[in-house]
Amino acid sequence: MTEVLYSGGQLFNGADPVLDHHSVLVDGDRIKDVGPADKFSGFEGAIVDTSGGTLMPGMADCHVHILYKGGANPSAESEGLNPAEITINGLENAQATLRAGVTAVRDCGGQDFLEFPIRDACNSGRFAGPTMMAAGKMICMTGGHGNRFGRVADGCDEVVKAVREQVHAGCDLVKIMATGGVMTKGVDPEDAHYSAEEMAAGINEAKRFRRTTASHAQGAEGIMNAVKGGITSIEHGIFMDEDCLEEMLERGTYLVPTLAAVKNILLNKDNGIADYVVEKAMRVFERHIESFKMFYKAGGKIAMGTDAGTPFNLHGKNPQELSYMVDCGMSPIDSLISATKVAHELMQLEDRGQVKAGFKADLVLVSGNPAEDIQMAADPENHRFVIKNGQKVN
Predicted confidence (pLDDT) per residue in 227-249, tens digit: 999 999 999 999 999 999 999 99
* CA-angle at 145, arms to 94 and 102, nearest 5°: 20
d(CA 225, CA 227) in angstroms, rounded, equals 6
In a domain, 79, yes or no: yes
Distance CA 42, CA 143 (A): 66
Q: Is residue 206 part of a domain?
A: yes
Contact between 217 and 236 under an 8 Å Cβ cutoff? The reply is: yes
List Cα–Cα distances, 185 to 16, 154, 268, 278, 311, in angstroms: 44, 19, 18, 11, 15
- Is 94 inside a domain boundary? yes
The torsion of the CA quartet 193, 264, 111, 177, rounded to 10 degrees, works out to -20
* Domain containing residue 36: CATH number: 2.30.40.10
Q: Which of 318, 333, 363 is the last residue of a domain?
A: 318
Same domain (yes/no): 65, 53: no
User: How does pLDDT run across 267-303, given as a tens digit for each residue?
Assistant: 999 999 999 999 999 999 999 999 999 999 999 999 9
**CA-based torsion, 232, 238, 240, 245: positive or negative:** positive
- Both 306 and 374 in a single domain? no
The helix (H) or strand (E) run that includes residue 30 is strand 30-36
| Residue 72 CB neighbours (<10 A) | 15
Q: How confident is the model at residue 75 (pLDDT cuts 50, 70, 90)?
A: confident
**Of 274, 293, 318, the domain-final residue:** 318
Asked whether residue 83 is assigned to any structural domain, the reply reads: yes
Q: What's residue 255's pLDDT?
A: 98
Q: Please report the pLDDT score of residue 1 as a whole number.
A: 54
The reply to whether 327 falls in a domain is no
Beta-carbon contacts of residue 296 (< 8 Å; ≥ 6 apart): 302, 328, 329, 330, 334
CB within 8 A of 90, min separation 6: which ones? 66, 67, 110, 114, 115, 118
Residues 6+ apart with CB under 8 A from 67: 78, 86, 87, 89, 90, 93, 110, 111, 114, 115, 309
Q: Are residues 9 and 97 in the same domain?
A: no
Average pLDDT over residues 308-328: 98
User: By percentage, how much of the chain surpasses pLDDT 90?
Assistant: 97
Q: Which amino acid is at 94?
A: A
CA distance 84 to 54: 39
Asked if residue 148 and residue 250 are part of one domain, the reply reads yes
Total structural domains within the chain: 2
Tens digits of per-residue pLDDT, 135-151?
999 999 999 999 989 99
Same domain, 268 and 171: yes
Contact by Cβ (8 Å): 393, 99: yes
Is the same domain home to 142 and 201?
yes
* Domain coverage including residue 25: 3-57+351-392
Mean pLDDT taken over the chain: 97
Residues 50 and 79 in one domain: no
* 256 and 366 inside one domain: no
Cβ atoms of residues 131 and 361 within 8 Å: no
Residue partners of 33: CB distance under 8 A and separation at least 6: 24, 25, 39, 40, 357
pLDDT tens profile 3-33: 999 999 999 999 999 999 999 999 999 999 9
Average pLDDT over every residue of 329-333: 98
SS3 224: helix
**Structural domain contains residue 325:** no
